[in-house]
Structure 1
Amino acid sequence: MSNPKPPWYLKPMNRFVRAIQRLGIPAGPSQILTVPGRKSGKLRSTPMTPFSHDGGLYTVAGYPGADWAANARAAGAGTLTRGRKSRRVRIVELDPAQARPVLRSFATEVPVGVGFAKRSGLVREGTPDEFEALAGELAVFRFDPQD
C-alpha cells in the first residue's frame, strides 16, 4: 500500500454533511461523531458511517493516521448524532485480531466507505480479504451505549 491520503474533496464534503445534520436532516447512513480534540480540548465533529456487525456498532477510519481517530482514541467517549437525535457512546478501539472480522464486514456493509478506500488508494478492488489485511493499519472502533 502506498501512503494513502484523504481525497481533496473530503474536508468540503464533511463541512456540507455537518451543516445539513445541524439542520436536523439525516445525510444518508452517515452520523456525526463529536469528541474533544486531544490537544485543544475543543469539540471536533466528524461525519462517519457506523455499521452493525455481530450486534455491535462499529466504524473504520478511512485512512491510517486520521486525526479524528486519534481524537476518538484519546477521548474514549463521545456523541453520535444523526439528524436531531444524539446519543452518548463509549469508544473502544479494537486490536488487529478483533478488527479482522469487522473489516471483512465493512467491505460489504459500507459501500460508500469501500468507494472512499478505492479512491484514496487504500485498496484496489474493495474485497473483504483486502480490508481484513488492513487490520493493524486502519483504526477500528466499537461504539458502546453510555448512560
Structure 2
Amino acid sequence: MSTHVIKPGWFTVNVFNRFVAWLTRRGISVWGSRVLAVRGRKSGQWRTTPVNPLTVDGQQYLVAPRGHVQWTHNMRAAGGGQLRLGKRVENFTAVEVADDDKPPLLRAYLKRWKAEVGVFFKGVGPGSSDAELRRIAPDHPVFRITITD
C-alpha cells in the first residue's frame, strides 16, 4: 500500500476547511460538499472533515485527493461513517475500491473538482489515459459508500 500523503497547509486547515464545514453544517452545500464523520480507529471519537462525495452511475464514492490521510485509515477500521449536511445525517457503509477499478472514478472526480484538487494528482487530469490514472491510483484511496438509512 502506498504511504502517499499531502498534508494540508495552515490556510486549508484553519480557514478553508473550517469555512466549508461551517457552511455545510448549516445546510449549505458547496459543490456537493458534506461533512464526513468517521470514528477514530484508536480513540473511538467522531472525527470530521469536509468531503466531496462523487456519484457515478448511481453509486456514491469518497475519493481522498491528498492520499492516505487520517480519515482513510479511520474509514478502513470503521467500515463506514456518516455524511452530514445541516441537520441531515446519512449513515453509510464503505468498501475500498481496488486500484484497477479506480481510473474511471478518478477521471470523474477530476472532471468535477480538478480546479480544487488537481494539484494533488501529479499532473494527471480528467483527459489522462487509463494507464496514467492507474499509475496514481495507489496514492488515492477511493471508497464505495452505501447509505444504510
**Alignment TM-score, normalising by the size of structure 2:** 0.82
The yes-or-no answer on 1:29 pairing with 2:28 is no
Mapped pair 1:6 → 2:19: no
Pair 1:38 & 2:37 matched: no
- Structure 1 residues 4 and 127 mapped into 2: Cα distance closer, same or farther (>3 Å)? farther
- The code of the aligned residue for 1:81 comes to R
The amino acid that maps onto 1:124 is G
Q: Report the identity percentage.
A: 33
Q: Moved runs in structure 1, 4+ residues, more than 3 A?
A: none
Q: 1:105-144 counterparts in 2 under 5 A?
A: 105-112=108-115, 115-118=116-119, 120=120, 122-124=121-123, 126-129=125-128, 130-144=132-146
Gaps spanning 5+ residues in structure 1: where?
none
User: Going by fraction, where is helix more abundant, 1 or 2?
Assistant: 2
- 1:60/1:33 Cα in 2 relative to 1: closer, same or farther (>3 Å)? same
**Stretch moving more, 47-56 or 131-140:** 131-140
TM-score, normalization: structure 1? Answer: 0.83
Q: How far did 1:132 drift?
A: 4.0
Note the alpha carbon deviations across 1:92-117, whole angstroms, 9 max, x for none: 111111222211221213334xx323
Deviation at 1:125, TM superposition (A): 5.2
Count of residues in Structure 1 that have an aligned counterpart in Structure 2: 141
